Structures are given as structure tokens and as C-alpha cells.
Amino acid sequence: MTQKKKIGLMGFGKTGKAIASVIIESKEFSLEWVLRQKTTLEHRSVSEFLGFDTEDSGLIYSTSKITADDLLAKHPVDFIIDFSSSSGIYCYGKAAARHQVKIISAVSHYAQAELDLLAELSKTATVFWSPNITIGVNYLLIASKFLKKIAPFVDIEVIEEHFKQKEGISGTAMRIAEELDVKISDINSVRAGGIVGKHEVIFGFPHQTVRLIHESISREAFGNGVIFVASNLADKPHGLYNFEELLLPYFTD
Amino acid sequence: MTQKKKIGLMGFGKTGKAIASVIIESKEFSLEWVLRQKTTLEHRSVSEFLGFDTEDSGLIYSTSKITADDLLAKHPVDFIIDFSSSSGIYCYGKAAARHQVKIISAVSHYAQAELDLLAELSKTATVFWSPNITIGVNYLLIASKFLKKIAPFVDIEVIEEHFKQKEGISGTAMRIAEELDVKISDINSVRAGGIVGKHEVIFGFPHQTVRLIHESISREAFGNGVIFVASNLADKPHGLYNFEELLLPYFTD
Amino acid sequence: MTQKKKIGLMGFGKTGKAIASVIIESKEFSLEWVLRQKTTLEHRSVSEFLGFDTEDSGLIYSTSKITADDLLAKHPVDFIIDFSSSSGIYCYGKAAARHQVKIISAVSHYAQAELDLLAELSKTATVFWSPNITIGVNYLLIASKFLKKIAPFVDIEVIEEHFKQKEGISGTAMRIAEELDVKISDINSVRAGGIVGKHEVIFGFPHQTVRLIHESISREAFGNGVIFVASNLADKPHGLYNFEELLLPYFTD
Amino acid sequence: MTQKKKIGLMGFGKTGKAIASVIIESKEFSLEWVLRQKTTLEHRSVSEFLGFDTEDSGLIYSTSKITADDLLAKHPVDFIIDFSSSSGIYCYGKAAARHQVKIISAVSHYAQAELDLLAELSKTATVFWSPNITIGVNYLLIASKFLKKIAPFVDIEVIEEHFKQKEGISGTAMRIAEELDVKISDINSVRAGGIVGKHEVIFGFPHQTVRLIHESISREAFGNGVIFVASNLADKPHGLYNFEELLLPYFTD
């Protein structure tokens, strides 16, 4: 049996915890450590904290007590997964490149400074960034683009549904609209109750309709995306990658 | 076997023709005549024109050649179904009342003058008006109101989908929003390809979602609405009725 | 300000915990105690255990240490909510009747012996039982029956979707089929991934389609159902009630 | 301006008529003639019969009065579109190959004998066959296969909805199931009212769901498929083609 690939996780908020769970349950990957800003939970076992019976995970560390360099020296990993914030990359980016650790960032927004840093790091390291790291949404995006290519004159509208409190148009819907050249005014945003997240792309032909729909059930969906990305990034040389580049090779006969 | 109730139809546009088809195929009602403005098709048999094998229908007449009074005298009916325009009521309204014929109007919009005339006629005749005469949409409207009564604080949004060329928010969606106290900005209008017509009311609860959806397949749906209304109006005394009043008695155990 | 009505909860499994959360957050009701078989968590505070900041809830007790009679004497409540198992009613039923506490049972299945006991208790106590205590599903059931009454000859099919592991047709789908006189073979069961739970009733008319859809987001939905039932049961005299009886009064103009 | 490509149409049933309408309205193609078995409508103008103002189409011929060879000699075309029956190919196949006319067959089922004939013809002619010639369904099929490639362990189920009278599982659903390795028992067939045709492929992931949905509005959808196929087949050398081969080149960046 092959050895599990090792993962270090940046960030331990709600989504970070969900990602940690998925990695701990994975057969291909192991969770070596979590690195976060806060000192709460320091040195607790991740699997024990999350209620797993297994002890098969590392501990929680705080950036205020240990540097990424030291952590990588003591507990080497193959991938760093980043679900922290846009500033997280400054903590571990250069250390990761030095240790030849692959970087997978799922941070929602980066300013130009961070984008520049990612590009710089990618000269010597394998760097991946996707603001939405679910397989479903990224598949939707690519499959939609191909349908538009097949039928350039089809009418396209987007419906996105989320919980009442979510403000503004969803970032994913904006991204879909941008890629498909759909006007912002053709995005329909529904805000009602506790809807987790639904994106629907409607292709209206004169005599038929095609709909591509993605529904989120829980934030663990990001975990499965991480596993997919890490698996597909394993053999990639240094460079800057996005989700589309990893998915495209599957769209061939 | 009971005798079929007799219907006279005002209007013979696309929708009028669809309604005529449904009446001709009905086992409860017969189509005695069609009265329209244009003289084209005058004295043609409706069933023959629509391609039915049966000769079981009356002829097409023009308002420029015969008055409603004369037509009702020669070819008495139990109901006049109006799919013409807002001015149609002036042609046949008073004659219908005089002959004790029940009036079923499916005209989309009336100005105050016509609404006043309907009210006047209803003092001596049975008058029904519904701007959308499908069973499905009217059921949706009532069932939605009851869910809002059960859960007054639920979030409600409306999605309506129609063919690309349809301008403005659909009248039915406006009506739904009005009845449910939903803001116009919470109506989402999708315009794409050849979608016939879809209305969806979304009720967002904190931990569950209820959706009521109506989809139109073809304009013959109006014909089934007409049959339903005529059947339920048969025993009603004079007065002014709407679809809700006919449906409400069904909402009891 | 009115005082909160007091609730005692039987059962503290996954669903029991979700119900406890909803009650603790409610403005109308307070959670006085939880009674369960296991002795784990005994005397822990419910709100503290569930991670609420507030101390506004009672403690957890075990049926192996205290009788329902003693518990009701020390910590009186207005309602007992039962999310335990079919045998739970034997623990608290008679005590509840003696103390004039209203019983709300959401147990999925009862054998005839327990149904007889409920009937017996209802001679002196207010007793409610619903195997699915969500507002959405019960609304769907009633609203569907009314549409069938309006259009007796409409074609009806049911689609239910659940997570891959769920075995057999869902109990709710069976109930819907039974109430609407739909054949079991016209229930379509989809089992895929982690779908929480979706029930769709399709009404096929010749020229239009109506769909009523209920989607579960999380088990807290049962908590909102409990709140609704308790509110509507507050003034009810002794007797045996079901969800339909509480909903019907809302289906009037 | 480029000259319109010329089309001859085999078959003039309900679908044949819809296809004729779409071709007549096309800017790229002209309808030179219709060839059918029956002698009714012989020598009538297609566009006049279908109610177009334009006279921009050819006439209707009967196979009992003229051979395909003679027709092709008098009224040459670039494509023959076949919406007749499985035996149609015997009328025009060899003549088409001789005249270097491209063959586009949308016949639902062929026996082995006809499949052999198509293969034989394709040695010297450009031959295309697709039992479902809509862009939407064929896109659905390919896009679904790619998603299964991306996520081989995802749960897949199919829902297909059609009008009450349709017997058996739809051929398209069977095809989807076959291509995706889905068991026949995981196809859910809804039969209700007048639903024109809906196919939904559900991909159930542990924490998210993807749905691809195709809805037919009217049989004119086949006409747009024909136009797409003819456009993409225009430059193709002799050989036997299917829809997938024409679509695949669009699935690249």
C-alpha cells in the first residue's frame, strides 16, 4: 500500500474544521498539523477535538508561537492547504517554497500584492489558487462555457439562491456571469431562509432549455475539492495553477 | 345522459382557437358559435376549420354583421366566454344579461369603465372575471396565501421564467407578489429562449424550503380553466365572481 | 411580557439535540429539562453542552435515576416533547396526564399497544402525535389533497430524494402516496450522495404542470415544527390531535 | 452574401413538418423539396402549406410517383434530412451517395440491415445518424460523461418525465443510462399529463449535488439540431458520423 500524502492546514474556522474532517477520513492523505493565528486549542489533537475515534492526525499550532519554517522542519508535509485569510500567505508562502511544499489556497479574495506573491512563489513552487474549491461549481463553469461555444446565440441567465442574511450577489455567480459574458442584471439572487447555496445556469434555446444546477449541502464539499486538487497536483511541476487547468484534461474522449 | 351546456365564444385569436378546441373536445359543453370582429372565416364551421373530424360545433360570426342580441335569439347559449379584448364586453354584455346568459371573461386588463360595467351587469347576471384563467396559477395563489398564514415570518421570493421577447414582469407574478405582500424587487424575471411560462414561489424557512411551481405547456391550459369555471358557475345566482371564490370551497376537509 | 411556556424533552439523540437548540433559542418557550435513558451527560446543563452562551436551560436527567412523576413535581412543565422511541411513552405518559402536561410525540412508528395508550391518555390529557413534525411536509400533504379535490382526474406522481444509504421508500413519501391515492409504483426514489431529503409531488394536467416541493436543510426543521405545534396546542382541551387538524384552520380566507 | 445550402427532406409527419418550418426560417439553408410516401399534398408548396408568407421553398413529392434519383437530378441538394422511418434509407440512400449528397438521418431505430447499409454508403458518402438530434440532449450526454470521469465514484440517477400515454422508459434515458453505466433500475420515469419531455441527470456527491436538465418545449427543437448538424457536417469527408463526434471539438479551451 502507498503511503499517505501529508497535508498541513492553515486556518481552523468553520470551513477549516470541515476540511480537517474530510482529510482525516481520507485514505490518500493524512493531516499532519493545523496552523492558526489564535492560541486557543494549541497542542490539542485535531482528530480528538473533532470527535474522531482515531488518533490519526497531528496537533494544532499557533502562528504566534511557531514559524512555518520550524513547523515544516519538524513536521514535513507535501501540501499546505490554506483556508485562512488573504494575509495567511505571508506566514507560510516562502517557507513552503523553500521546503518544496505544494501550496493550495482556497482564500476567497486576494489583493494585487498577494497575487504578485503567488506568481513569485510559483517560479520555484507548485502553487494553486481557487476562490471556490468545490468540484461541482468548477465543473459547472467549464461545462457552461462549452455549451455557449456550441450555441453562441443561446440566451443565458443565472439564478443563485442563498440564506436570507447573505449580502450582495454571490462571488460564484459573479464569476459564472463573467466567464459566460452574462450581464450582472441577468443574475437573479434569491435570499430566503436557510438555503445553503444553489447556482443554476439556464440556457434558453428557441424550443428547448438546458439547466446546469449546483447545490451545496454542507461546507465539507470544499474538503472533497481539496482532495481532488491535491491528487491532481501531485505530479505537477512548479507553476501557478487554477481549477480549470486541472479539470480540462477530463473533457476529452 | 344530461344535455351538454352551450357555450358562445368571443374572440378567435391564437388563444381563442385553443379554447375552442378544448370546448369541442369536452363532454359537458358544446360550442354553439364564435363571435369575432373580423369578417374573415365568416360562416365557416369552427370544428372543420380547426381540423376536427366531428361537425359538432357552430359557425363563426362577425360583430360587423350580426348583433349579440340577434345571435343569442337564434342560437341561445348558457355561457359566453370572452377571450377578445377589453372592449368586447360592450358588444355582448347587456344582451347576455337580458338573455340570462352567464358571462365568463378572461380578458387580461380592464379599465375602470369596464369594471363598472361588469359590476352593473352582475346585479342581474352571473358574471365572472379572471385575468389568468388557469387552474394551476389560481391554485398556486391560494395555496401560497395559506402557507404564509401558517408561517407569517417565512421569507418569500418569486421566480418567473418566460420567452426572451416578453417585456416587463409577468402580470401573474405581479399578482402573486401583491397577494403575498412580496416586494417587486423580490420577483426574479428570467427571459430565455422559448420558455412558455413558469412561476415559482419559494418559501424559505430556517431549516427547510417549500416551493410551489406552475409550468405552462400550451395555451390550451386556459381551456381547461374555462371548463372548470363554467362547471362551478352553473348553479351560481347573479353576482360578480372571481377564481378564488370558486376554488375556496375545495380547501376544506 | 408573557412568561415563556415550559418544555420538557424526552430523548437526546441527534434530532433531540437539534430540537433542544431550537427551543433554547425560542422567545416563547423555555427548555426545563431533558430526560433520556443513558446516564452519560447526567446533570449537565443542556445549553452549556450545546455551546450556547446563555445558561437559560435546565439539566439532563436519566430515566434510570428519576421517575417522570418526580421530575414533573420538582420541575413542572407545560409540554413534554417526545423524540425518544416508541417505548418512551410508557415512561412519562401517565405522569404527564396526571400533571395535566400536554404531550407532543414525534416518534416515527408506534405499535397498536402504544396507539391504544395514546388514545387512553387523550381522555384526560391533550395528546398530539405526528410521525413527521415539519411544517413543510404537513403543508405539502394538505395542499396536495386540496389540488386533487379541485382536479380529481389529474395525474399524480411523487419523487423523493435522499442520501445513498437510506433504504426503502421514505415514510413521508409513503404517507403522501396513501393520502393522494397514488400507487406505490408511482413513487420514484432517488438515492444519491448526501442529499438530506427532498419530496416533490407532480400534478400533470393536459396543458400545465403543478409541482409542490419540500426540501429539508437540517434536522432543526423538526424544532420549528415543535414550536408551531406547541403554540397551536396551547389552548386545546384534552383529546388526540394530529398535524392536519392544527393546519386546517389556516386554510380559510 | 453566401448562397444558402440546399436541403431535401424525407418524411412529413408531425416532426417532419416542424423541421420543414425551421429550415424555411433559416438563413443558411433552403428547403428544396419534401419527399414522402403518401400522395396527399403532392405538388403543394411546403411554405404555403405551413402558412408562411414567403414562397421560398420547394414542393412536396411522393415516392410512389418519382424516384430519389430523378428528384436529385431535377432538384439537386446538398443534404438529405431523413425523418421518415427505418425503411426510408432504401428509397434514397444509394441515389444520395451517387449524387454526392450528404445524408443526415434522425430515424429513431434501425435494424442491423439498415445499419449495414449506412456503413456501406459511408464509404463514398458523408453519412450522419443520431436517434435524438437535439443539441441539448447530446450536450447533456457528453457533459455527463465528463463529470463521471472527473468523479468516478459519484452516485448517478436519471429522472425522465413525459406525457401520460408514453409507454416504456424513454429511449434517450436508456441511452444516458448506457453511456453513464447507470442501472436501468436507477432510471425514474414520471408519466403525467401533457409533459413534453424532460431528462434530468443527478450527480450525488457526499456534500453537494450537480444536476443537468434538458427540457423539450416543442418538436421544432429537432430542427435546430438538424441545422447544427448540417453546418458542422458541411466540410466533412465521407464517413459515418454521430452527434458526439460533432460536439467533441467544442469541448476544448
pLDDT digits (tens, 9 = 90+) for B29-61: 999 999 999 998 899 999 988 888 776 789 999
pLDDT at residue number B151: 96
Spatial distance between the Cα atoms of C55 and C48, rounded to a whole number of angstroms = 7
Q: Do A195 and C218 touch (CB under 8 A)?
A: no
Q: In angstroms, what separates the C-alpha of A37 from chain C's closest C-alpha?
A: 22
For the entire predicted model, the pTM comes to: 0.94
Is the pLDDT assigned to residue B206 strictly greater than 90? yes
Asked if residue A83 has pLDDT above 80, the reply is: yes
* A195 chain-B contacts, CB cut-off 8 A: 204, 209
> Other CB atoms closer than 10 Å to residue A207's CB: what's the count?
21
Question: CA D86, CA D110: separation in Å to the nearest integer?
Answer: 6
Out of B193, B195, B217, the one facing D196 most closely (by C-beta) is B217
Q: Which residues of D touch B162 (CB under 8 A)?
A: none
Q: Under an 8 A CB cutoff, do D215 and A207 touch?
A: no
All chains having 3 or more CB pairs closer than 8 angstroms to chain C: A, B, D
pLDDT score at C81: 98
Q: Which of D134, D217, D224 to mutate to test the interface with B (most CBs of B within 10 A)?
A: D217
Per the CB < 8 Å rule, is B139 touching C210?
yes
**Per-residue model confidence (pLDDT) at position D111:** 96
Instruction: Please state, in angstroms and rounded to a whole number, the distance separating the CA atoms of residues A202 and B183.
Output: 24
* Domains along chain C with CATH numbers: 5-133+220-250 (3.40.50.720), 135-215 (3.30.360.10)
Contact B223 C215 (CB under 8 A): no
C-alpha span between C147 and D16 (Å, rounded) = 38
Task: Map residue B198 onto helix, strand or coil.
Answer: strand
Q: How far is D63 from chain A (nearest CA, A)?
A: 31
Q: Is B190 on the interface with D (CB under 8 A)?
A: no
- Residues shown for chain D: 253
B109 touches chain A (CB under 8 A): no
Closest CB to A150: pick one of D203, D216, D250.
Answer: D250
- Residue A90 touches partner D, C-beta closer than 8 Å: no
Min Cα separation D137/chain C (Å): 21
CB contact under 8 A, D250 and A136: no
Whether residue B46 contacts residue B57, with contact meaning beta carbons closer than 8 Å, is answered with: yes
B196 touches chain D (CB under 8 A): yes
The pLDDT score that the predictor gives to residue A253 is: 76
Note whether C209 contacts B: Cβ–Cβ < 8 A. yes
Q: What's the whole-number average pLDDT of chain A?
A: 95
The full 3-state SS of A205-225, as one line of letters, equals CCCEEEEEEEEECCCHHHHHH
**Where does the pLDDT of residue A29 fall: very low under 50, low under 70, confident under 90, or very high at 90 and above?**
very high
**Nearest Cα to Cα of residue C216 among C29, C17, C15, C46:** C15
Contact B188 A154 (CB under 8 A): no
Of all residues in chain C, the one with the smallest CA distance to D193 is: C204
Q: Which of B69-73, B216-220, D1-5, D113-117 has the lowest mean pLDDT?
A: D1-5
Write down the mean pLDDT value for chain C: 95
Out of A190, A194, A204, the one facing B159 most closely (by C-beta) is A190
Q: Which of B208, B219, B251 sits opposite C217 (nearest CB)?
A: B208
Q: Do A195 and B205 count as a contact with CB atoms less than 8 A apart?
A: no
Q: Sorting pLDDT into bands at 50, 70 and 90, what band is A40?
A: confident
C193 contacts on A by Cβ (under 8 Å): 217
Q: Are B204 and A193 in contact (CB under 8 A)?
A: yes
Round to whole Å and give the CA distance between D106 and D133.
6
Write out residues in chain D with pLDDT < 50, as ranges.
none
Query: Once rounded to an integer, what is the mean pLDDT over residues C83-100?
Result: 96
Which residues in chain C (123-152) have CB-CB distances under 8 A to chain D?
none
**pLDDT at C2 exceeding the cut of 80:** no
ipTM over 0.85: yes
CB-defined contacts A:C, below 8 A: 10
- CA angle C227–C228–C233, rounded 5-degree value: 100
Specify the residue for cell string 473533532.
A50
Q: What is the mean pLDDT of residues A149-169?
A: 96
Q: Does D206 touch chain B (CB under 8 A)?
A: no
Residue D92 neighbours by CB under 8 Å, 6+ apart: D10, D35, D68, D80, D82, D103
Handedness of CA C43, C46, C49, C52 (dihedral sign): negative
Which residue of A217, A220, A224 is the best one to mutate when testing the C interface, meaning the one whose CB has the most C CBs within 10 A? A217
pLDDT (0 to 100) of residue B189: 97
Angle subtended at Cα A180 by Cα A179 and Cα A183, rounded to the nearest 5 degrees: 105
Q: How many CB atoms lie within 10 A of CB B249?
A: 10
pLDDT the model gives residue D1? 54
Count interface pairs A-B at CB distance under 8 A.
78
pLDDT of B1 reads 54
Task: Give chain C positions within 8 Å (CB) of D206.
Answer: 193-194
The set of residues, in sequence order, having a beta carbon less than 8 Å from that of A64 and lying 6+ positions away, is A37, A39
Residue type (1 letter), B210:
V
pLDDT of residue B161: 98
Q: State phi, psi for B31 to the nearest 5 degrees.
A: -95, 110
With CA atoms as reference, the chain C residue closest to A162 would be: C217
pLDDT at B158 over 80: yes
Q: Over pLDDT 90: what percentage of chain A?
A: 90
**Residue B166 and residue B198 in contact, taking contact as beta carbons nearer than 8 Å:** no
DSSP letter at A3? P
Residue in the block written with cell 416578453: B166
Q: Does B64 touch chain D if contact means CB atoms closer than 8 Å?
A: no
Q: What does the pLDDT read at residue A61?
A: 96
Q: How far is the alpha carbon of A217 from chain C, nearest alpha carbon, in Å?
A: 7
* Residue among C194, C195, C217 minimizing CB distance to A194: C217
Question: Cα–Cα distance between B222 and B19 in angstroms, integer?
Answer: 7
Q: B203 near B155, Cβ under 8 Å?
A: yes
pLDDT of residue C195: 97
Residues 6+ apart with CB under 8 A from B71: B8, B33, B35, B61
Residue C207 and residue B214: Cβ atoms within 8 Å? no
Chains that touch D (3 or more CB pairs under 8 A): A, B, C
Asked if C149's CB is within 8 angstroms of B139's CB, the reply is no
Please say if the pLDDT value at position A2 is more than 80: no
User: A193 contacts in C (CB within 8 Å)?
Assistant: 217
pLDDT, tens digit, 9 for 90 and up, residues A98-127: 999 999 999 989 999 999 999 999 999 999
Contacts of C211 in chain B (CB under 8 A): 211-213, 215
Q: How many CB pairs under 8 A join B and D?
A: 10
Cβ proximity of D129 and C162 under 8 Å? no
To the nearest whole angstrom, how far is the Cα of D17 from the nearest Cα of chain C? 22
Q: Kindly report, residue by residue over C144-161, the tens digit of the pLDDT.
A: 999 999 999 999 999 999
Contact flag C194-D204 (C-beta cutoff 8 Å):
yes
Whether B206 and C219 lie within 8 Å, measured CB to CB: no
Give residue A55's pLDDT: 67
Give the distance from CA D191 to its chain's centroid.
24
Answer for the pair C196, C163: CB distance below 8 angstroms, yes or no: yes
Any chain C CB within 8 A of the CB of B223? yes
For an interface test with A, give the residue of B195, B201, B207, B216 to mutate (most A CBs within 10 A): B195
How far, rounded to the nearest angstrom, does the alpha carbon of residue B157 sit from its chain's CA centroid? 25
Check CB contact of B249 with chain A, cutoff 8 Å.
no
The count of residues in chain C is 253
User: C154–D193: do the CB atoms touch at under 8 Å?
Assistant: yes
Q: How far is B84 from chain A (nearest CA, A)?
A: 28
CA C37 to chain centre: 20
CB pairs under 8 A between A and D: 128
Nearest CA in chain D to C207: D194
Contacts of C157 in chain D (CB under 8 A): 190-192
